[in-house]
């Protein structure tokens, strides 16, 4: 079993050097407001990584696996952007994120990563959970990976998605479509731009 140590959020916020807004003189920030203002900018992390992909002309591989049937192909930047935009969810907008989620953090001794976990306050939001994995260093903490879960309906089909973004390497989305009448269909779409992961 993994040994997990809970950390004080204030220490974590100092460790990642989150930019805080100064309060006007004579005002007091509530604990809830302080926590909300410290939320990590998840969408910005992804946008910055997309910009890094734009800055080089290396190959980008798209792999698809639908119920065991596999296919792979090289794609160009426009197709990459279309697929990557699935991670830039409207629920990650700052106001919505603060309203619908609560944050807690912990240090995983096994992976040596600081995990920021955003859990839903009410179970009526398509984005169900978000996790940001940080690798702490003496200089600056680095975002290693972002994981999100969604659930929504489209017509008579319930759709569950598990989205993983590995910084400077790849992203993948596992989708389970469950029609009202019929078997579930599972698909995985993976987009890779770091050549060392092409063979995975």
Whether residue 167 has pLDDT greater than 80: yes
> Is residue 124 pLDDT above 90, yes or no?
no
Q: How many residues does the chain have?
A: 200
Token duo for residue 11: 């220490």
Percentage of the chain beyond pLDDT 70 is 81
Give me the pLDDT at residue 15, please.
41
pTM confidence score? 0.81
Mean pLDDT of 89-113: 92
Structural tokens at position 6: 């809970």
Q: Say whether pLDDT at 172 is over 50.
A: yes
pLDDT tens digits along 42-75? 999 999 999 999 998 689 999 999 988 999 999 9
The per-residue pLDDT of the chain, averaged, comes to 84
Which one, of 1, 13, 10, 8, lies nearest residue 132 by Cα?
Answer: 13
Tokens (6 digits) for 122: 């009410």
Q: What average pLDDT score do residues 91-107 get?
A: 92
Best CA proximity match to 53, nearest among 86, 25, 79: 79
Using pLDDT thresholds of 50, 70 and 90, give the confidence band for residue 37: low
Mean pLDDT, range 145-169, rounded to an integer? 96
Bridge partners (DSSP) listed for residue 171: 165, 191
Tens of pLDDT, residues 20-34: 333 333 333 333 343
pLDDT at position 81, please?
A: 97
So what's the pLDDT on residue 137?
86
| List of E strands, 140-196 | 142-154, 157-166, 170-179, 185-192
């Amino acid at each position: 079993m993994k040994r997990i140590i809970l950390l004080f959020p204030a220490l974590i916020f100092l460790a990642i050097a989150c930019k805080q807004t100064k309060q006007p003189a004579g005002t007091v920030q509530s604990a809830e407001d302080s926590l909300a203002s410290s939320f990590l900018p998840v969408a910005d992390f992804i946008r910055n990584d997309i910009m890094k992909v734009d800055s080089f002309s290396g190959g980008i591989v798209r792999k698809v696996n639908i119920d065991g049937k596999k296919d792979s192909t090289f794609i160009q930047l426009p197709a990459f952007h279309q697929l990557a935009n699935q991670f830039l969810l409207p629920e990650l907008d700052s106001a919505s994120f603060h309203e619908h989620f609560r944050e807690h953090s912990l240090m995983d001794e096994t992976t040596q990563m600081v995990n920021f976990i955003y859990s839903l306050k009410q179970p009526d939001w398509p984005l169900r959970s978000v996790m940001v994995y940080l690798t702490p260093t003496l200089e600056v903490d680095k975002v290693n990976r972002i994981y999100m879960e969604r659930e929504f309906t489209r017509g008579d089909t319930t759709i569950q998605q598990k989205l993983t973004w590995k910084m400077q390497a790849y992203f993948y989305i596992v989708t389970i479509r469950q029609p009202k009448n019929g078997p579930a269909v599972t698909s995985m779409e993976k987009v890779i731009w770091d050549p060392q992961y092409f063979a995975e």
